[in-house]
Amino acid sequence: MSERVKDLVCGMEFDREKAKAVFCYRGKSYYFCSPGCEEKFKKEPDRYLPGRS
């Protein structure tokens, strides 16, 4: 059974095993549909993270 993950940059949902890029930030892994989305996330992670206080 594969886990569903969400690309926080473009909002796409997909199976974790189909992710094209993974980026670890503050101890969590984030999955992306493409290296381009990963690049955007890397530049401004806080912009894409939900529920920041």
C-alpha 9/C-alpha 41 separation (Å) is 7
> Which residue number, 5 or 37, has a Cβ lying nearer to Zn ion?
37
Judged by CB under 5 A, the chain residues 10 through 39 that form the site for Zn ion are 10, 33, 37
C-alpha 24/C-alpha 38 separation (Å) is 10
> Which residue number, 1 or 19, has a Cβ lying nearer to Zn ion?
19
Q: How far is the CB of 26 from Zn ion (least distance, A)?
A: 20
Q: At 29, list the tokens.
A: 């892994």
CB 22 within 8 A of CB 41: no
Binding region for Zn ion (CB under 5 A): 7, 9-10, 33, 37
